[in-house]
């Protein structure tokens, strides 16, 4: 067994995430600052949008203030009517679900697949009704959903496919970047995301009319050709030039960041192969961004005790998301989604940031293995 070592000067506290800001982040940030263009206009916004559009290979993108705003903006601009339904996994971050309600529609919770923890196309099909307007694919923990089957179902029933790509920058389905399969996709650049702008987000679409509308709505609904003339109800969801400056520097290093994250994920899988934990399993069609290394503890293990023991040894972990249908704002008492519920009860995310060394990974694995033996 690997030796367990607690936090010390040599073995410092390992958080679940910390961004690597060691490239041009500081220089661009200061450039934005010195230019005095610190709000939502400035050259870094244009450069950031151009760089990310080319990276994800989606022609129309619009930077916003966070990923939740991105989802809300996208859903709002689909003009969902009261009573219309959006099928969404219950096992997701709460913003995927909240924004459906905030856009005036009803979330319909679907099951995920045991093997990859992602939206189950067969269950989606079962839940389609005459009121279904959209399906939201959430590429959770950086692993792409089955976009062949979800696209086919959306087409068959005439619904809009939306992609929540908050965790999936760098992820590919059959060699193509996620985000361009649906009509619109939403992204997050929160501090723990693969690329961060501090707080930040993005909407991306292949539809120029939808793009134009989202760009107007994110800026208070103002007519782009007539200042202070508001053509529709809007929000202030704009990103700042300061945030975009950091994001541009981060994007320059995206390949390195992804390479590091994939290496770290592979190291964890190897080191924990005999420990009884299980990971999301990927098919040959997908390339995960390995956003956050997440695993399921064996059935019956006491998750809180494991996490507490690891914390005592200076290692932060985090539980996976609770199922939305079990939480007060979206409670569906009679709904049973056993796979989602089991994953939600057993999942734990481990430190997964790009500067984590092999030594750190082995220390996390030793701590986890020891905690599992005692839990
Ligand atoms: C799946 C998913 N959707 C949406 C969001 C919302 O993004 P943000 O935190 O930038 O508002 C997140 C962020 O954690 C997420 O993980």
Compute the distance between CA of residue 161 and CA of residue 75 in angstroms, rounded to an integer: 11
Residue 193 has phi, psi (to 5 degrees) of -85, 165
Q: Say if ligand 1 is within 6 A of residue 367 CB.
A: no
Residues 288-292, mean pLDDT to the nearest whole number: 98
Residues 121-133, mean pLDDT to the nearest whole number: 98
Give me the pLDDT at residue 42, please. Answer: 97
Helix (H, G, I), strand (E, B) or coil at 347: strand
Index of the ligand 1 atom closest to the CA of residue 200: 10
Q: Say if ligand 1 is within 6 A of residue 138 CB.
A: yes
Index of the ligand 1 atom closest to the CA of residue 201: 10
Compute the distance between CA of residue 78 and CA of residue 154 in angstroms, rounded to an integer: 15
Compute the distance between CA of residue 148 and CA of residue 154 in angstroms, rounded to an integer: 10
Confidence of residue 277 (pLDDT cuts 50, 70, 90): very high
Q: For a pocket test of ligand 1, which of 93, 144, 162, 247 has the largest count of ligand atoms closer than 8 A to its C-beta? A: 93
Give me the pLDDT at residue 263, please. Answer: 98
Confidence of residue 142 (pLDDT cuts 50, 70, 90): very high
Q: For a pocket test of ligand 1, which of 64, 68, 99 has the largest count of ligand atoms closer than 8 A to its C-beta? A: 68
Give me the pLDDT at residue 367, please. Answer: 98
Give me the pLDDT at residue 11, please. Answer: 78
Q: For a pocket test of ligand 1, which of 69, 75, 167, 203 has the largest count of ligand atoms closer than 8 A to its C-beta? A: 167
pLDDT tens-digit readout, 220-258: 999 999 999 999 999 999 999 999 999 999 999 999 999
How many A from CA of 93 to the centre of ligand 1?
6
pTM beyond 0.85: yes
Q: Say if ligand 1 is within 6 A of residue 349 CB.
A: no
Q: From atom 10 of ligand 1, which residue's Cα is the shortest distance away?
A: 67
Index of the ligand 1 atom closest to the CA of residue 71: 4
Counts for the chain of helices (H) and strands (E), in that order: 12, 14
Q: Which regions of the chain does DSSP assign to beta strands (E)?
A: 60-64, 85-89, 106-110, 132-138, 160-164, 172-173, 176-177, 184-188, 201-205, 278-279, 286-287, 294-296, 318-319, 347-349
Residue 127 has phi, psi (to 5 degrees) of -95, 0
User: Which two three-digit tokens encode residue 197?
Assistant: 């702008």
Q: Say if ligand 1 is within 6 A of residue 164 CB.
A: yes
How many A from CA of 7 to the centre of ligand 1?
30
């Amino acid at each position: 067994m690997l030796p367990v070592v607690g936090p010390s000067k040599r073995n410092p506290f390992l958080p679940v995430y910390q961004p690597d800001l060691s490239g041009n982040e500081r220089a661009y940030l200061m450039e934005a600052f010195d230019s005095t263009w610190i709000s939502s206009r400035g050259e870094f916004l244009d450069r950031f949008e151009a760089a990310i559009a080319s990276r994800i290979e989606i022609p129309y993108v619009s930077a916003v203030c966070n990923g939740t705003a991105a989802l809300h903006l996208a859903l709002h601009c689909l003009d969902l009517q009261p009573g219309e339904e959006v099928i969404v996994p219950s096992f997701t971050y709460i913003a995927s679900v909240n924004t459906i309600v905030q856009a005036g529609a009803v979330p319909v919770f679907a099951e995920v697949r045991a093997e990859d923890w992602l939206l189950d196309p067969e269950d989606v099909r079962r839940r389609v009704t005459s009121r279904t307007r959209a399906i939201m694919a959430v590429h959770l923990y950086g692993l792409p959903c089955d976009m062949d089957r979800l696209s086919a179902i959306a087409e068959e029933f005439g619904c809009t496919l939306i992609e929540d790509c908050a965790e999936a920058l760098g992820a590919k389905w059959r060699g193509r970047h996620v985000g361009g399969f649906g009509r619109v996709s939403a992204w997050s650049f929160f501090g723990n995301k693969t690329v961060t702008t501090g707080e930040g987000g993005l909407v991306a679409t292949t539809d120029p009319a939808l793009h134009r509308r989202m760009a107007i709505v994110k800026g208070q609904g103002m007519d782009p050709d007539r200042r202070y003339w508001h053509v529709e109800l809007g929000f202030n969801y704009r990103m700042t030039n300061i945030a975009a400056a950091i994001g541009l520097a981060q994007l320059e290093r995206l390949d390195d960041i992804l390479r590091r994250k994939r290496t770290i994920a592979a190291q964890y899988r190897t080191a924990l192969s005999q420990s009884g934990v299980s990971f999301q399993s990927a098919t040959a069609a997908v390339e995960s961004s390995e956003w956050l290394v997440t695993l399921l503890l064996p059935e019956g293990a006491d998750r809180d005790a494991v996490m507490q023991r690891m914390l005592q040894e200076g290692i932060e972990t985090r539980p996976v998301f609770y199922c939305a249908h079990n939480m007060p704002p979206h409670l569906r008492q009679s709904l049973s989604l056993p796979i989602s519920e089991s994953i939600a009860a057993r999942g734990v995310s481990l430190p997964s940031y790009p500067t984590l060394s092999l030594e750190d990974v082995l220390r996390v694995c030793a701590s986890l293995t020891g905690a599992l033996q005692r839990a």
